[in-house]
Structure 1
Amino acid sequence: MTTYQQETASGPLAGLVVVDASSTLPGAQVSQFLADCGAEVIMVEPPGGSMVRQLPGWPALLRGKRSVTLDLRDAADQETLRGLLQGADVFVHTLRPGTAERIGLTAEALAEKYPRLVTAHITGWGSDSPWRDYKGWEGLVYAKTGAMWSKRQLTLRPGPAFVTAPYASWGASQAAIHGVLAALLERDVSGRGQVVESDLVRGLGALEVYNWFYELVLHRFPGAFTPMDVAYDDDGIPQAYLIFALLIASTKDGTWLQFAQTAPRLMQAWLIELGLAQDLADPKWAGFPMLPTAELRGEWWTTMLERVRERTFEEWQETFERNPDVSAEIFNTPDGSFDHPQTVFDGRVQVVDHPELGPVRQSSTLIHAKGAPLVPLRPAPSAGADDAALAALLDAAAARRATGAPSDAPATLPLEGITILEFGSMFAGPYGTTVLTDMGARVIHVETLEGDNIRSLVAFPEAGGAKVMQGKESLTVDLATAEGLSIVHELVPRVDLVVQCFRGDTAIRMGLGEEQLKKLNPGLVYLNAPGYGTTGPYAGRPAYAPSIDATAGLSATDGGGVRASSDMAEIKLRAASLHAAGAVNCAQADGIAALAVGSGLLLGLYAKRRGIELPDLTTTMLASAQQSVIVLNTQYEGRPELEQVDGDFLGLHALYRLYPAADGWVFLATPYDHEWAALTKLAPFAALGGDARFTTRELRRAHDAELAETLAGIFAGRAKADWEDELTAQDVGCVAVTEENLEWAMQDDAFFDAGYCVEAVNPIFDEHRRLAPITRFSRSRTKADAGCTLGQHTTAILRELGYADDRITDLQERSVVGGA
């Protein structure tokens, strides 16, 4: 077994060769992850450099890679690409399906020419969707899936709101990483590669936490429940009682704080700290926090905001030090998140000297081992830096060319035979194993006898946990008892991976730490997936998605920045907007962290199969959120100014923006020169092409408001579906905005027929639609199981361990175990 210390210079994927011909953010994130794990990544760039270099975070996205120049429109350069692929293990590209087919990059052609090659194909809409040929801009996906409607309370203006953060790119990139690692594991058995597909739509759908089944219940039983799909009413007054626990407030000196006093004892401590606890004795506030009228909710909210504003940020910091039951996170910019005490403690920020840019401050590797990044970070290459070495790279590829016939073993689930033991609750850790069940992994979810809290998060039984429980087995056991702990210890030698999501050193104190379990199973892969860390200043703190969104800069990104205000009316407006930015379920830190957990588990498993030990393998919720905005938080002198959403949350500029149509809204995405040219060839927009104000990109930006006004007048004249049909038929990025929350929109017939959701049968919900597997394979199979009920598999698991039925009954009667 090779030790981690021996591998730190090269990483767990050392020896793998990756050819990356992608030109978009999710493709760059895939190869960045692989390079961060030690793979040799050869980036294929067109003359003039990849479009990725236009992104502010390109020095981090391209770090540690090599760069060669190839024009893939040229037949000779296509042949050179084929020469590189003959010695590659992984190929990454983001071509639209039709383009990939035209140049011979179908699954069949790749399998014939490169039988061991694993290809990651990342698109906007998927290769078999009716929208497969639509432009893959993230904004188009947000508009059509309903994400812009779900986050409409970013503004009190009626209608959808522009979503800024790159959630869908993160989801698609992590799904592709899962597929690549799973396909490499499968290749070790079959000797055969395959094409792995992910897309922005499914990637975004994976980030949603629990509202999918909430929406299902509302539509299945109309009138039985009173829906509350937004946190604030039309007058900007809180409707949801969680607003009080997750209060967003400004200090006396203008620092915005995200509180997270969600447990009853934490709320009580906070009310005492604010001097409000005694007020609850007044019958006026009976039922708090479930106050019955908007007037009462508004009054209590105003009082809480005023009490927070009585202290400066420094005074609140002193409060947090004095009273550990009261805590809050600052609303950082993405840049500001690098100064978080836990981030500094964990060494999650690295400075890399770039020969042209100078020092580049950036997030370290997504996964850490032994308290350090997986590899020392190296600077991004200049475009074409390795052109002189191209002949040598081709010779090396030829020398590596696979020989011999691959196995004709039948296609199976790529993770079949892998068992994961999971200790965690809610979503940020556990959903990372859920997506692996779709690939065939067996996951045993260990729960208390009362059940995972997410099961009761929604009033309808099991609706909160139905998504995260998909494909799992539920074992209910009291780990505080010696017999309960012994049951889990008996399971450990039978599993391949363990993931624990507890705070700080809780796992060790419970007898579930890495060293403790590896004594029972030396071959175990063990992943820590806490909110903040296993040690350090924030290790013991609970992590909630809104808090992580705030401190990592996601809320500021979606919310249009953070700014001080002394006016209470403005504070209330900003609080509502920041809530929509960081706490709306469809896209936030829980889902971001969960997909990183899946990547960490598969990396650990693949490294183990290669004989590489990765002790203290760790990914955290905070680090994952920071990694997801690496395109925004990478810092260097001369970095382009980050684009900000306009004050009305319509978009970034006139050519990437929401517009009212005759019967709703459309989203237009034509930011590049060639897209502008395509738009102005169409009759309704032809006059714009000859307008002297708009002839160049620079002039269009200088006259942005005038261009937006002109386009608004044009779009207002026709129905949104007509605009989508006409513009997309001419390869112009424009879609009708779905005015339905994402969680229901993605269950409707159009998305079902497109393959984005599939049917499953749940013990509670019977036949229903669930999100389709987010990673697809050209040869391996996937499955799509439904969720399980509390303790559903307890008896079966105990029998598997050899427990007789009378002993199981005894354990149940003494409340050591529960379930069926």
Structure 2
Amino acid sequence: MTAGTRPATSAPLAGLLVVDLSTTLPGAQATQFLADAGADVVLVEPPGGSPLRADPGWPGLLRGKRSITLDIGLGSEDRPVLDGLLLQADVLVTTMRPAAAERHGFTAQRLAEAFPRLVAAKITGWGSHGPWADYKGYESLVMAKTGVMHSKRQLSPGPDPAYVSTPYACYAAAQTAVQGILAALFERESSGLGQVVESDLVSSVGALDPYNWFYEMILHRYPDAFTPQIAAFDAQGRPQTRLMYALLVAATKDGTWLQFAHTAPRLMQAWLEELGLADELKDPKWTDFPDLPTPELRFEWWTRMLAEVGARTLPEWEATFARNSNVFGEQFRTPDQALDHPQILHEGRAVTVDDPDLGPVRQPSTLVHAAGRPLTEIRRAPRPGEHSEELRRLAALAAPELETPSTQGTAAGTGGLPLAGVTILELGGMFAAPYGATLLTDLGARVIKVEPLEGDTIRSVMAFPEAGGAKVLQGKESIALDLRTPEGLAVVLDLARRSDLVLQCYRAGVTERLGIDEASLKAVNPDLVYLNSPGYGIDGPYGHKPAYAPSIGAASGIALTDAATAGASPANQEELLRGARERWAGGAVPAVQADGIAALSVGSALLLGLYARRRGIALTGMVTTMLGSCTQALIGRNTSYADRPPLTRVDDGFQGTGPLHRLYRASDGWVFLAASAERDWSALATALSSHSDLGNERFSTADARDANGDALTDVLSRIFATRTKDAWEADLTARDVGCVAVCQENAEWRMQSDEFHRAGYAVDAVSPIFDEHRRLAPLSRFSRSAVKADAGCTLGQHTDALLRELGRSAESIADLRSRDVVR
């Protein structure tokens, strides 16, 4: 145990001391995860309190932490107190820009010399190196420059980029930081040494897309391969994608909006039969369904489906879902309403904490559940400096000899992969859980993917063969077998004997039927870490339901967070069509959606279980869900209490949340301005002084700027229209004002462009299918440990090698293949 911390419990991170210097959302969410897992998180706040307390969700973000007020500047009277805490700490988390971190003495060299066992996690907007390292790290700037605002453009009526409200990049960077921290702590058990771990918002948001990276790559490499889907709807609002029918957004007769999800062929057939439209497809007019050749035909079929859904009330559809297990639709909920979802209530994933000042505070429980309950009991957030006295006493206990560097293990801990020697057995398909294991291959884990003989469904989700699964299969070994046969099951059991972790993401009851549930696999390997990561849960009212990104986006509040202006019940056909388009854009755009959020969460959960086992703490019945993960991502919006301040809301044009945080049209495109803080305003007013007098009394104070918001928007609109977007970015960022040129191409292509490749966000890989190509760079960077960036694999590419490793002879393998047990 760390001196002065609370007594150890069965919580996986009990006894670890975390010093949290973060002042922005990704740091707060990373340390919230650590506190939820039992770590003693010390929130270091400046005099006056952390800026995070201005976030309406601060009671959820800061929960379970202790607070101390310190001036952390080098040479300050409080700096010895901070150093005393760091001498005893296991983890440090910062969200400073690189220059600020260096100014405060948080360089890798100084940290290694002064605190050799400390794992220091740095979360930045753009990384510590490269052309944009010194840019402001605001999420909106990242979303603008990476193309996410362009990808989400159909949130607004026209073709222009749209402001994105869900904190996708912040949550992704938080989970990336957690993974880096846990991997470094795991490696420290061998080397005895800590290190610096870095994550950034740019790379992290690139992880959220499930397959469009390779869609864009194929489209640009082979432009004649297939007709591109430029957007979900054309300029007249007519569907342009076949997915519009499988993932239909529609309103019931009594005005409740539903998100349907029927992507598998059998589910689509059941869906059409339920709507009474299956026989219609016999008409030659619909021969090419679902790839209908003209906008008119696509629109006609779409409105037919909308009409059939609108013929039944919500209770009638709920009765349909209960009767027909192959048909299902999710209600669109706000973030607050999501905590009343029947599955959330069943699993206890919504908790209420009594706060002496705020009263009852409702919020999500822990991301990971174990043994049928949250990892820990959620405790209230501290008041600023509430624990200063006791923490100053703790800091005084520190002595330099506690952290004397050990030469033993230094060589072994330098340059190696932090998860070298770890084997993960992956059972399940698609993206939301499996990509969590993919992320760990970059850190050195061996991931053995068990696929059905016909391959994971994601391999064929796109028109170009194998492109759909290329991202999620990176770094993995594929074995294709029939799990339903005794011989296939025997192979999986043999693999489980040699594995450290098992990841499964089937719907409730499937693993038990197949004989690959936790009890069955732990019977052959009691030391296994077994993680369940289904869409909804391993039991309960929705455990058997199919879960796809759009339906989870609807259920969790993500869709209505992004499509914040979407109306309620449609009063006419025009409102019906507009509402369907807006909600689609809110939850179904591939660049950022629920699949990616869930996958990042799975990566963190796997590492939590692995590190807990290393510490001698066995977690049983570990569960993350897509739905639970998405409520975590929205904790800043679904933490509710009496007199909660208003949440920020995008304007009706989807351009931003105010005159100093919005899109502006430049002479050749768009810029995004992020200058809401008082210090930002001063720099902006000075930079634009030659264009307009922004120092007049209408704009002289924050209150005045709020009162004259429309006038300020008009003034800034005229100014930004006078120059090119790149000129504005160069000029204003040189003056430390947050302003970037808005990329107007899809994020998945932008991220693999030459500019982003040179900046280190994309790296080269060689695929057995696509030859040399660019892939997303590993999300974490370490000061000592290495990472790698492998490409994907073909179906069954490693079947023979793995069977030989298990001791099967050539004759035995040939026999299994002849009987269609393996491929």
TM > 0.5 fold call: yes
More off after superposition, 259-268 vs 343-352: 259-268
SS in 2 for 1:519: helix
1:552 to 552, 556, 568: 556
Superposition pairs for residues 18-33 of structure 1, below 5 Å?
Answer: 18-33=18-33
Q: Which residue identity is paired with 1:54?
A: A
Question: Once the 2 structures are TM-superposed, how far is the Cα of residue 684 of structure 1 from its aligned partner?
Answer: 4.6
Question: Once the 2 structures are TM-superposed, how far is the Cα of residue 155 of structure 1 from its aligned partner?
Answer: 1.6
Show the counterpart of 1:272. 273
Question: Once the 2 structures are TM-superposed, how far is the Cα of residue 688 of structure 1 from its aligned partner?
Answer: 4.3
Question: Once the 2 structures are TM-superposed, how far is the Cα of residue 693 of structure 1 from its aligned partner?
Answer: 2.0
Identity %: 59
Q: Is residue 804 of structure 1 aligned with residue 809 of structure 2?
A: yes
Question: Once the 2 structures are TM-superposed, how far is the Cα of residue 592 of structure 1 from its aligned partner?
Answer: 0.6
Residues 32 and 61 in structure 2, CA contact (< 8 A), matched pair in contact too:
yes
2:635 to 626, 630, 636: 630
2 CA distance for matches of 1:696 and 1:570?
Answer: 40
Residues 570 and 579 in structure 2, CA contact (< 8 A), matched pair in contact too:
no
Superposition pairs for residues 345-494 of structure 1, below 5 Å?
Answer: 345-398=346-399, 401-403=402-404, 405-406=406-407, 407-410=409-412, 411=414, 412-494=416-498
Superposition pairs for residues 79-228 of structure 1, below 5 Å?
Answer: 79-228=80-229
Show the counterpart of 1:56. 56
Question: Once the 2 structures are TM-superposed, how far is the Cα of residue 736 of structure 1 from its aligned partner?
Answer: 0.3
Q: Which residue identity is paired with 2:663?
A: L
Q: Which residue identity is paired with 1:483?
A: E
Question: Once the 2 structures are TM-superposed, how far is the Cα of residue 163 of structure 1 from its aligned partner?
Answer: 0.9
1 CA distance for matches of 2:691 and 2:22?
Answer: 32
More off after superposition, 303-312 vs 759-768: 303-312
1 CA distance for matches of 2:570 and 2:8?
Answer: 48
Per the alignment, do residues 790 and 694 of structure 1 end up closer, same or farther by CA in structure 2, a change over 3 Å counting?
same
Q: Which residue identity is paired with 1:380?
A: A
Show the counterpart of 2:574. 569
Residues 651 and 657 in structure 2, CA contact (< 8 A), matched pair in contact too:
yes
Per the alignment, do residues 248 and 344 of structure 1 end up closer, same or farther by CA in structure 2, a change over 3 Å counting?
same
Q: Which residue identity is paired with 1:454?
A: I
Q: 1:195-217, CA deviations, whole angstroms, 9 ceiling, x for partnerless residues?
A: 01000001100111101111111
Per the alignment, do residues 496 and 728 of structure 1 end up closer, same or farther by CA in structure 2, a change over 3 Å counting?
same
Show the counterpart of 1:3. none
Question: Once the 2 structures are TM-superposed, how far is the Cα of residue 287 of structure 1 from its aligned partner?
Answer: 2.3
Residues 68 and 383 in structure 1, CA contact (< 8 A), matched pair in contact too:
yes
2 CA distance for matches of 1:385 and 1:651?
Answer: 36
More off after superposition, 31-40 vs 272-281: 272-281
1 CA distance for matches of 2:8 and 2:709?
Answer: 49
Q: 1:635-694, CA deviations, whole angstroms, 9 ceiling, x for partnerless residues?
A: 111111111111111111111101110001000000111111110011456744323222
Show the counterpart of 1:38. 38
Residues 82 and 395 in structure 2, CA contact (< 8 A), matched pair in contact too:
no
SS in 2 for 1:193: coil
Residues 36 and 374 in structure 1, CA contact (< 8 A), matched pair in contact too:
yes
Q: Which runs of no fewer than 5 residues in structure 1 stay unpaired?
A: 1-5
Q: Which residue identity is paired with 1:203?
A: S
1 CA distance for matches of 2:304 and 2:104?
Answer: 64
Per the alignment, do residues 293 and 334 of structure 1 end up closer, same or farther by CA in structure 2, a change over 3 Å counting?
same
2 CA distance for matches of 1:721 and 1:376?
Answer: 50
2 CA distance for matches of 1:561 and 1:331?
Answer: 13
2 CA distance for matches of 1:540 and 1:314?
Answer: 19
Show the counterpart of 2:3. none
Residues 632 and 642 in structure 1, CA contact (< 8 A), matched pair in contact too:
yes
Show the counterpart of 2:625. 620
Q: Is residue 503 of structure 1 aligned with residue 504 of structure 2?
A: no
Per the alignment, do residues 366 and 717 of structure 1 end up closer, same or farther by CA in structure 2, a change over 3 Å counting?
same
Q: Which residue identity is paired with 1:167?
A: Y
Per the alignment, do residues 189 and 213 of structure 1 end up closer, same or farther by CA in structure 2, a change over 3 Å counting?
same
Q: Is residue 597 of structure 1 aligned with residue 602 of structure 2?
A: yes
More off after superposition, 548-557 vs 73-82: 73-82
Q: Which residue identity is paired with 1:84?
A: L
Per the alignment, do residues 515 and 20 of structure 1 end up closer, same or farther by CA in structure 2, a change over 3 Å counting?
same
Q: Which residue identity is paired with 2:225?
A: A
Residues 336 and 639 in structure 2, CA contact (< 8 A), matched pair in contact too:
yes
2 CA distance for matches of 1:400 and 1:756?
Answer: 40
SS in 1 for 2:101: helix
2 CA distance for matches of 1:128 and 1:168?
Answer: 19
SS in 2 for 1:86: helix
Per the alignment, do residues 198 and 404 of structure 1 end up closer, same or farther by CA in structure 2, a change over 3 Å counting?
closer
Per the alignment, do residues 114 and 205 of structure 1 end up closer, same or farther by CA in structure 2, a change over 3 Å counting?
same
Residues 660 and 675 in structure 2, CA contact (< 8 A), matched pair in contact too:
yes
1 CA distance for matches of 2:402 and 2:328?
Answer: 57
Per the alignment, do residues 254 and 701 of structure 1 end up closer, same or farther by CA in structure 2, a change over 3 Å counting?
farther
Residues 448 and 479 in structure 2, CA contact (< 8 A), matched pair in contact too:
yes
Question: Once the 2 structures are TM-superposed, how far is the Cα of residue 307 of structure 1 from its aligned partner?
Answer: 2.1
1 CA distance for matches of 2:271 and 2:784?
Answer: 55
2 CA distance for matches of 1:255 and 1:561?
Answer: 16
Question: Once the 2 structures are TM-superposed, how far is the Cα of residue 312 of structure 1 from its aligned partner?
Answer: 2.4
Show the counterpart of 2:543. 539
Residues 268 and 277 in structure 1, CA contact (< 8 A), matched pair in contact too:
yes
SS in 2 for 1:317: helix
TM-score using structure 2 length: 0.97
Question: Once the 2 structures are TM-superposed, how far is the Cα of residue 104 of structure 1 from its aligned partner?
Answer: 1.2
2 CA distance for matches of 1:686 and 1:636?
Answer: 44
Q: Which residue identity is paired with 1:269?
A: A
More off after superposition, 688-697 vs 241-250: 688-697
2:516 to 501, 507, 512: 512
More off after superposition, 684-693 vs 495-504: 684-693
SS in 1 for 2:157: coil
More off after superposition, 311-320 vs 717-726: 311-320
Q: Which runs of no fewer than 5 residues in structure 2 stay unpaired?
A: 1-5
Q: Which residue identity is paired with 1:675?
A: D
Question: Once the 2 structures are TM-superposed, how far is the Cα of residue 404 of structure 1 from its aligned partner?
Answer: 5.1
Q: Is residue 639 of structure 1 aligned with residue 644 of structure 2?
A: yes
Q: Is residue 725 of structure 1 aligned with residue 730 of structure 2?
A: yes
Show the counterpart of 1:326. 327
SS in 1 for 2:479: strand
1 CA distance for matches of 2:519 and 2:682?
Answer: 62
Q: 1:339-373, CA deviations, whole angstroms, 9 ceiling, x for partnerless residues?
A: 11100000000100011101000000000000101
Question: Once the 2 structures are TM-superposed, how far is the Cα of residue 402 of structure 1 from its aligned partner?
Answer: 2.6
SS in 1 for 2:595: helix
Q: Which residue identity is paired with 1:232?
A: F
Residues 473 and 793 in structure 2, CA contact (< 8 A), matched pair in contact too:
yes
Question: Once the 2 structures are TM-superposed, how far is the Cα of residue 613 of structure 1 from its aligned partner?
Answer: 1.1
Q: Which residue identity is paired with 1:571?
A: L
Q: Which residue identity is paired with 1:699?
A: A
Residues 33 and 366 in structure 1, CA contact (< 8 A), matched pair in contact too:
yes
Question: Once the 2 structures are TM-superposed, how far is the Cα of residue 282 of structure 1 from its aligned partner?
Answer: 2.4
Question: Once the 2 structures are TM-superposed, how far is the Cα of residue 409 of structure 1 from its aligned partner?
Answer: 2.1
1 CA distance for matches of 2:286 and 2:117?
Answer: 67
1 CA distance for matches of 2:223 and 2:762?
Answer: 22
Q: Which residue identity is paired with 2:573?
A: M
Show the counterpart of 1:714. 719
Q: Is residue 689 of structure 1 aligned with residue 694 of structure 2?
A: yes
Question: Once the 2 structures are TM-superposed, how far is the Cα of residue 577 of structure 1 from its aligned partner?
Answer: 1.8
SS in 1 for 2:64: coil
2 CA distance for matches of 1:516 and 1:224?
Answer: 46
More off after superposition, 302-311 vs 330-339: 302-311
How many residues in Structure 1 have an aligned counterpart in Structure 2?
813
Residues 552 and 594 in structure 2, CA contact (< 8 A), matched pair in contact too:
yes
Show the counterpart of 1:11. 11
Residues 764 and 774 in structure 2, CA contact (< 8 A), matched pair in contact too:
yes
More off after superposition, 109-118 vs 216-225: 216-225
Q: Which residue identity is paired with 1:51?
A: P
Per the alignment, do residues 128 and 431 of structure 1 end up closer, same or farther by CA in structure 2, a change over 3 Å counting?
same
TM-score using structure 1 length: 0.97
Question: Once the 2 structures are TM-superposed, how far is the Cα of residue 310 of structure 1 from its aligned partner?
Answer: 2.3
Question: Once the 2 structures are TM-superposed, how far is the Cα of residue 780 of structure 1 from its aligned partner?
Answer: 0.3
Question: Once the 2 structures are TM-superposed, how far is the Cα of residue 624 of structure 1 from its aligned partner?
Answer: 0.4
Q: Which residue identity is paired with 2:685?
A: T
